[in-house]
Amino acid sequence: MLLRPALIAFACGSLLNVHAEGLDATAVVKGWQSQQLGRVQTLQASSLVLKDSVDALCKRLGNSEIRAARQAWLQTYVAWRAVEALPMGPALSRRTAWQIDAWPVKPQKVEEAVRLVERDAPIADSVGANAQGLPALEYLLWGDDRASAQLGRLHFRQRCQYAQALAADVATEAQSLQQDWQGYSSTALDADAGRQAFEEAVNLIAGSVEALRDKKVGRLGSPKLTQKPTRQIFDAWRSHGTHAGMAATLNALEQLFLDNRQAPSFVDRLAVEKPLLAQHLREEFAIAREHLAKLPADMAASAAAKPASVQPFLDSIKKLQGIIELQVADAVGVTIGFKDSDGD
Amino acid sequence: MRISRRQLLGAGLTLATLPLLAAGRQRQPIVLSAGWDGDEQWCAGTLERASAPLPARGHVLVPDPQRYGEAIVVARRPGYYLARIDWRRGKLLKQFALEDERNLVGHAVFSQDGRYLITAETDENTGAGRLAIRDARSFKRLEDRPSHGVGPHEILWLNSHTLVVANGGILTLPETGRYKRNIDRMDPSLVLIDSRDGGLLQEYRLPDSKLSIRHLAVTADGTVGTALQNEGSNSSPMLAILRDGQFAYASTPPELAQAMRGYAASLAALGNRFLMPCPTGNLLTEWSSEGQATAQLSLPRVFGAAALPDRWLASGEQGELWQLVPGKLTVQASQRYPHHWDNHLTVV
């Protein structure tokens, strides 16, 4: 897929130059960049396995091969969900999410793309984002309802060729992202640049938390969970990967705030002046993790059958969102620029 | 192109008479709005009967000039549906899912003959602002044109072949939701577009690029008012006017700039006055078309503004509707409805 040069030029901006005392914004950002580099490397490695697995599947259409391809898809998906927790720097400017994870997939568009695909040729620009990336590949590997029938459908040569093209596309983007990220994370930041990057990152984290609650659970325009949910409104419902994806994002978010293996964590730094808030944040992450752990692996089907089962988790994410957007942002002098209460 | 006040005056009169022409005969004014009940039960309709259900949050309602009793609801940005409602019966008549890789930004206008709907949109692939010309019945896109800027928001007719578009200058993209991706490179503009070919006739910018140009209204003397939203400080002018070919800030005393808190939610015109709600500052403001502040009133979370022939209407997020005296902004009457109103009121 082609990059969109017009967009690459756009960068995020400083929102408010208020420096919270006691918090070294540059050090926090460098810590986050370092964490994210590891996640980007995992994504790159898993996407290569995915590409090889799909190639192997199309060479020999067997049960073990499709199992391996599905496993590789799940690993890549989970790796991406962790990266997506903080889509800063190259992930933002390259529009990696748009390139490999435009969601929801449009199956009829995928079927059109299957008919148009040419062997070893790049995916045509005319194939929209909603027929590409990991969700489209998930559709080809699992189908909508009859996962066991997908192996037979992949015997149609062009179907397998399109699956290969999708996997290759994801691997190419992950490789480019990793290369860009290495340069990005090794660039020194002075205090002003560090502060600006910090403000952008806090905004992006707030956006990730919001997406975790809204976008990943309820498709835009669909009825809310408490009304008539169907499994289709959940991210990764075909592969039963909803829970794993949520856990990956939540875990990455928690580490961004709490991980102090390499250096003092964000919360450690926050605690110097705001010990109660820091403790509150720790507790709310733990509560969200506990609620998620109680949900089954096939969270989409389970929640569709029993919507109330997901509500405690959603409530905990909403609470986390509020703490980050209001108390934490205020404590570190960052303006969240896109709150839902923002008018139009 | 330089627009004279005489041309603008004509355009203003055209705009002012459109709702009455739509009604076809003398009727009591009806006020429409999108809103929500309870926990995100999105709906739209009249103040008394906002019961047409919506799939997601609506923003502006555009009355169909050819079908009295019907209106188009445009989804709030980033929005993915258009809806036609029967506001007399409180029914959703039609729902249209937007084409792939596009999103709506909450605003649209009908063409002069009422056969087409012109929607302001963002191309999710490139980030460019677009104006789509759609069949008003089927909503099918017939033509696609540039908005000549990023982040288009409100559109108005200036005269029979000129559209005025507020390009907010803020880039948002689907993978990052409402996250503003270019705050340090914002490029808001007010543009005049030839509706016949989509060509750019004129564009105007303000000195401060952090002031996003969002909402529009035209007074009887032809002045174009633009309500702003500040992505920088919270103490700047929130109204700018295009008058005699000059686009400039309204004369705003520092204490008023401070009180508006950097955010204007909508704009209405009555005679030669503008009404501009500033919900973050809990303040309703009135201005002359020459850009002088004429009155202010503290009102909680006031978002919507509209004009009746002899008075102002303003709506609050918690369901309030206030009727106010022009020139003084004293409250004539107020009522509270069991709905949360979105930013805009539309008078039919």
Q: How far is B25 from chain A (nearest CA, A)?
A: 33
Contacts of A221 in chain B (CB under 8 A): 55-56, 80-81, 97
B53, pLDDT greater than 80:
yes
Q: From A14, A1, A304, A253, select the one nearest A134 (Cα to Cα).
A: A1
Q: Report whether pLDDT(B186) > 70.
A: yes
Q: Is B52 exposed, middle or buried (0-12, 13-18, 19+ CB in 10 A)?
A: buried
CB contact under 8 Å between A98 and B279, yes or no, is: no
With contact defined as beta carbons under 8 Å apart, do B23 and B17 qualify?
A: no
Strand partners, B251: B292
First to last CA, chain B: 32
Contact B282, B298 (CB under 8 A): yes
Q: What is the mean pLDDT of residues B222-231?
A: 95
Instruction: List chain A residues with CB under 8 Å of B128.
Output: 6
| B40–A14 CB contact, under 8 Å | no
Distinct helix (H) and strand (E) counts, chain A: 16, 0
| Comparison of pLDDT for A19 and B328, the residue scoring more | B328
CA atoms within 13 A on the CB side of B40: 15
Contact yes or no for B177 and A226 at CB 8 A: no
Q: Do A343 and B279 touch (CB under 8 A)?
A: yes
Question: What are the phi and psi torsion angles at B269 (to 5°)?
Answer: -130, 140
**pLDDT at residue A343, as a whole number:** 57
Give B110-154 pLDDT, tens digit per residue: 999 999 999 999 999 999 999 999 999 999 999 999 999 999 999
* Pair of tokens at residue A317: 């994410």
Q: Chain A: give the shortest CA distance to residue B27, in Å.
A: 31
Q: Dump pLDDT digits (tens) for A250-266.
A: 999 999 999 988 889 99
The closest alpha carbon to B83, from B34, B10, B48, belongs to B34
Q: What count of Cα atoms within 13 Å lies in the side-chain half-sphere of residue A56?
A: 16
User: What mean pLDDT do residues B47-56 have?
Assistant: 86
Chain-centre distance for alpha carbon B207:
23
Are B39 and A338 in contact (CB < 8 Å)?
no
Nearest CA in chain B to A214: B177
Q: Which residues of B touch A220 (CB under 8 A)?
A: 56, 80
Q: Min CA distance, A13 vs chain B (Å)?
A: 4
Nearest C-alpha of chain B: how many angstroms from A143? 21
pLDDT at B13 exceeding the cut of 50: no
**Coil, helix or strand at residue B156:** strand
**A123-137 mean pLDDT:** 89
Asked, for residue B64, whether it belongs to a domain, the answer is yes
Q: Residue A219's pLDDT is what?
A: 41
> The complex's ipTM?
0.77
Question: What DSSP letter does each residue of A46-95 carry, written as one string?
Answer: HHHHHHHHHHHHHHS--HHHHHHHHHHHHHHHHHHHHHHTS--THHHHTT
Number of inter-chain CB pairs under 8 A, A vs B: 106
CB count in 10 Å sphere of residue A87: 24
B156: its two tokens: 């108005």
In a domain, B236, yes or no: yes
Higher pLDDT pick, B12 / A231: A231
To the nearest whole number, what is the mean pLDDT of chain B? 90
Q: Residue A310: what pLDDT?
A: 85
Domains of chain A: 12-331 (1.20.1420.20)
Pick the most confident of A184-193, A215-224, B38-47.
A184-193
In contact, B185 and B217? CB cutoff 8 Å: no
Test A87 with B176 for CB contact under 8 angstroms: yes
Mean pLDDT value across residues B83-90: 96
CB B86 within 8 A of CB B93: yes
Rounded Cα–Cα distance for residues B109 and B163 (Å): 10
Q: For residue A228, what pLDDT band results from cuts at 50, 70 and 90? A: low
**Which two structure tokens, joined as six digits, stand for A265?**
């964590």
Largest distance between two CA atoms of chain A: 62
Position B201 in a domain: yes
State the total domains in chain B. 1
CATH number of the structural domain spanning residue B244? 2.130.10.10
Residue B220 belongs to some domain of the structure: yes
Within a domain: residue B155? yes
Whether the pLDDT of residue B252 is over 50: the answer is yes
pLDDT of residue A217: 66
Report pLDDT for B49.
80
User: Is the alpha carbon torsion for B216, A339, A129, A106 positive or negative?
Assistant: negative
Whether residue B283 is contained in a domain is answered as no
Mean pLDDT calculated for residue range A180-185:
95
Considering the domain boundaries, does residue B346 fall inside one?
Answer: no
How many angstroms away from the CA of B87 is the closest CA of chain A?
Answer: 21
If one compares B232 and B252, the residue with the highest pLDDT of the two is B252
Q: What is the pLDDT of residue A340?
A: 54
Could A342 and B178 be called an inter-chain contact, meaning their C-beta atoms sit closer than 8 Å?
A: yes
How many whole angstroms separate alpha carbon A1 and alpha carbon B124? 15
- The answer to whether B178 contacts A6, with C-beta atoms less than 8 Å apart, is no
User: Residue B237 carries which side chain, given as an amino acid letter?
Assistant: P
Contact flag A98-B171 (C-beta cutoff 8 Å): no
Report the distance separating Cα A314 and Cα A193, nearest Å: 35
Which residues 6+ apart lie within 8 Å of A26 measured at CB? A189, A190, A191, A193, A194, A195, A197, A198
Q: Which residues in chain A have their CB less than 8 angstroms from residue B55's CB?
A: 221-223
pLDDT band at B198 (very low <50, low <70, confident <90, very high): very high
Q: DSSP readout, A268-307?
A: HHHHHH-HHHHHHHHHHHHHHHHHHHTS-SSHHHHHHH-G
Name chain A contacts of B59, Cβ cutoff 8 Å.
Answer: 344
Q: Do B176 and A221 touch (CB under 8 A)?
A: no
State whether B76 and A344 contact (CB < 8 Å). Answer: yes
Nearest-Cα distance to chain A for B175, in Å, is 6
Residue B333: inside a domain = no
- Domain extent, residue B151, equals 5-251
